[in-house]
């Protein structure tokens, strides 16, 4: 099965409808990661076919759960995950890709340029120091190891009614017990990634209403 076929099959399983141009951009993105990985070590995943599953499809599993989004920020985005796949799938969203690693943000800027992602901007810095002029409807991350730290460091980024979306592996029982006030768990959604046997969950957190 070719990369294009693997992607198309996975998107079909996820019921994610992307046109041919969007699917081509996703494959171009995988090619860029593969090329830059040789020098910048963007990801431990080296096989492009594995990237389809572990990066693209994994990122896009959360798409149907992102509600009422206009502005989204992806924290600790690394190689641009899940931010770049979401930017390709939703050109109407405004997406900020934030990472403190200069090499990775150099790659992100080049990737956005080559992929023509005019709806994405890149910020190099620490999340606790970033002060946007407008809040975000959604704050995503695959990178934070602890939910409590994620909630503490990103709460200031939320717009009114905005939510945090943390992508996790196994159900994070212990971490959920350490959520700081005024954060409140909304739900934990089991995710099924086509071609992946590993357990995946999406933790949705909101600021508690006053």
What is the distance between the alpha carbons of residues 14 and 8, in angstroms, rounded to a whole number?
Answer: 10
Number of H helices, E strands in the chain: 8, 7
The residue assigned the tokens 């994070």 is 172
Domain assignment of residue 37, given as a range: 3-207
Q: State the CATH number of the domain containing residue 92.
A: 3.40.50.150
**Contact between residue 166 and residue 141 where contact means Cβ atoms under 8 Å apart:** yes
Cβ within 8 Å of residue 16, ≥6 positions away: 60, 63, 64, 89
Res 143: pLDDT: 79
Q: pLDDT tens across 55-86, in order?
A: 999 999 999 999 899 999 999 999 999 999 99
- What are the residues facing 172 on neighbouring strands? none
Q: pLDDT tens across 37-53, in order?
A: 988 888 888 999 999 99
Q: How many domains does the chain have?
A: 1
Q: Which residues of the chain have pLDDT under 70?
A: 208-210
Of 51, 115, 110, give the one whose Cα is nearest residue 81. 51
Of 33, 80, 89, give the one whose Cα is nearest residue 60. 89
């Amino acid at each position: 099965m070719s990369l294009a076929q693997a992607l198309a099959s996975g998107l079909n399983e996820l019921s994610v409808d992307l046109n041919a141009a969007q699917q081509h951009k996703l494959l171009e993105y995988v090619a860029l990661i593969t090329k830059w990985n040789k020098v910048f070590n963007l990801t431990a995943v080296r096989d492009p076919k594995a990237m389809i599953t572990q990066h693209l499809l994994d990122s896009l599993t959360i798409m149907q759960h992102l509600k009422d989004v206009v502005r989204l920020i992806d924290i600790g985005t690394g190689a641009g995950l899940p931010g770049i796949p979401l930017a390709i799938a939703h050109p109407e969203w405004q997406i900020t890709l934030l990472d403190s690693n200069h090499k990775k943000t150099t790659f992100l800027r080049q990737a956005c340029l080559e992929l023509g992602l005019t709806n994405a901007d890149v910020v190099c810095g620490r999340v606790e120091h970033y002060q946007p002029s407008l809040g975000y409807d959604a704050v995503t991350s695959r990178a934070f190891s602890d939910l409590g730290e994620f909630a503490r460091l990103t709460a200031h980024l939320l717009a009114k009614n905005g939510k945090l979306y943390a992508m996790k592996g196994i159900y994070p029982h212990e971490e959920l017990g350490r959520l700081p006030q005024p954060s409140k768990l909304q739900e934990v959604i089991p995710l099924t990634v086509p071609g992946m046997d590993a357990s995946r969950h999406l933790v949705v957190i909101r600021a508690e209403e006053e």
